[in-house]
Structure 1
Amino acid sequence: MVIAGSSAGASRRLTLRHAWRLAALAPLLAALAGCGSVGYYWQSVHGHLALMHAARPVNDLLADPAVAADLKARLALARGMRAFAVNDLALPDNASYHRYSDLKRRAAVWNVAAAPPDSLELRRWCFPVVGCVGYRGYYDEAEAKALAAQLERDEGLEVRMYGVPAYSTLGWLNWAGGDPLLSTFIRYPDGELARMIFHELAHQVVYVNDDTMFNESYATAVERLGVQRWLATQADDVARRDYAAFDARRRAFRELSRQTRSELEQVYAQKPALARDQTALYAMKDEAMARFRQRYAQLKSEWAAAGTPFNGFDAWVAGANNAFFGIQAAYDELVPGFEALFAQVGGDWPRFHAAVRDLSRLGKDERQARLSALAAGSTAKP
Structure 2
Amino acid sequence: MKRVFRWLAAFLLASTLTGCTGVSYYAQSVAGHVEIMAARKNVAGLIQNPSTPAPLRAKLTKASAIRRFATDELAEPDNSSYRSYVDIGRDNVTYAVFAAPQFSLAPVTWCFPVFGCVPYKGYFSAKSAVESAADLKRKGLDVYISGVTAYSTLGWFSDPLLSTMLRQDDSYIASLIFHELAHQKIYVNNDSAFNEAFAVSVETTGTRKWLRATGNSAGLRRYETNRRRSADFLRLIAETRVELAQVYGSPRAPKQMAAAKAAAIDRLRVRYRQMRDTHWGGYRGYDAWFAAPINNAKLAATSVYGEQVPAFLRLFDLCGDDYPRFYAAVRRIGNLPQTSRVEALKTVAACH
Q: Give TM class, smaller chain.
A: over 0.9
SS in 1 for 2:144: strand
SS in 2 for 1:114: strand
Correspondence list, 1:124-143, <5 A: 124-143=109-128
2:93 maps to amino acid = A
Cα pair distance change 1:31/1:298, threshold 3 Å: farther
Cα pair distance change 1:295/1:125, threshold 3 Å: same
For 1:312 and 1:264, locate their aligned partners in 2 and report how far apart those are by CA, in whole Å: 21
What is the match of residue 328 of structure 1? 302
For 1:334 and 1:104, locate their aligned partners in 2 and report how far apart those are by CA, in whole Å: 34
CA contact (8 A) 1:121 1:326 kept: yes
What is the match of residue 199 of structure 2? 219
For 2:210 and 2:141, locate their aligned partners in 1 and report how far apart those are by CA, in whole Å: 41
2:271 maps to amino acid = R
CA contact (8 A) 2:99 2:141 kept: yes
What is the match of residue 63 of structure 1? 48
For 2:265 and 2:339, locate their aligned partners in 1 and report how far apart those are by CA, in whole Å: 29
1:282 maps to amino acid = A
Out of 295, 309, 319, the residue aligned to residue 345 of structure 1 is: 319
What is the match of residue 220 of structure 2? 240
What is the match of residue 15 of structure 1? none
- By how many angstroms is 1:31 displaced? 5.6
CA contact (8 A) 1:29 1:44 kept: no
What is the match of residue 187 of structure 1? 167
Cα pair distance change 1:317/1:264, threshold 3 Å: farther
What is the match of residue 319 of structure 1? 293
For 1:232 and 1:259, locate their aligned partners in 2 and report how far apart those are by CA, in whole Å: 33
Q: Quick check: 1:104 aligned with 2:108? A: no
1:156-199 CA-partner distances (Å, limit 9, x unpaired): 001000110001000012xxxx1001001112212121111111
- By how many angstroms is 1:247 displaced? 2.6
Q: Quick check: 1:260 aligned with 2:228? A: no
For 1:71 and 1:248, locate their aligned partners in 2 and report how far apart those are by CA, in whole Å: 30
1:30-60 CA-partner distances (Å, limit 9, x unpaired): 6689873444333322210111111111101
1:162 maps to amino acid = S
CA contact (8 A) 2:269 2:290 kept: no
What is the match of residue 4 of structure 1? none
SS in 1 for 2:305: helix
1:26 maps to amino acid = A
Out of 86, 96, 99, the residue aligned to residue 71 of structure 2 is: 86
What is the match of residue 12 of structure 1? none
What is the match of residue 159 of structure 1? 143
SS in 1 for 2:132: helix
Cα pair distance change 1:105/1:298, threshold 3 Å: same
Cα pair distance change 1:30/1:337, threshold 3 Å: farther
1:296 maps to amino acid = Y
SS in 2 for 1:159: strand
Residues paired across the two proteins, number: 348
Correspondence list, 1:195-206, <5 A: 195-206=175-186
For 1:337 and 1:20, locate their aligned partners in 2 and report how far apart those are by CA, in whole Å: 39
For 1:144 and 1:235, locate their aligned partners in 2 and report how far apart those are by CA, in whole Å: 42
For 1:23 and 1:209, locate their aligned partners in 2 and report how far apart those are by CA, in whole Å: 23
- By how many angstroms is 1:71 displaced? 0.8
SS in 2 for 1:142: helix
Instruction: Note the aligned Cα RMSD (angstroms).
Output: 2.2
Any unmatched runs of 5+ in structure 2? none
1:316-339 CA-partner distances (Å, limit 9, x unpaired): 552221011111221111112111
CA contact (8 A) 1:192 1:243 kept: no
CA contact (8 A) 1:111 1:136 kept: yes
For 1:104 and 1:113, locate their aligned partners in 2 and report how far apart those are by CA, in whole Å: 25
| Bigger Cα displacement from structure 2, 79-88 vs 34-43 | 34-43
CA contact (8 A) 1:221 1:339 kept: yes
Any unmatched runs of 5+ in structure 1? 1-17
In the superposition, the TM-score normalised over structure 1's length comes to: 0.85
Cα pair distance change 1:254/1:312, threshold 3 Å: same
SS in 2 for 1:332: coil
SS in 2 for 1:282: helix
What is the match of residue 287 of structure 1? 263
CA contact (8 A) 1:32 1:130 kept: no
Out of 327, 331, 341, the residue aligned to residue 367 of structure 1 is: 341
- By how many angstroms is 1:303 displaced? 6.2
For 2:71 and 2:82, locate their aligned partners in 1 and report how far apart those are by CA, in whole Å: 12
- By how many angstroms is 1:268 displaced? 1.8
For 1:66 and 1:129, locate their aligned partners in 2 and report how far apart those are by CA, in whole Å: 40
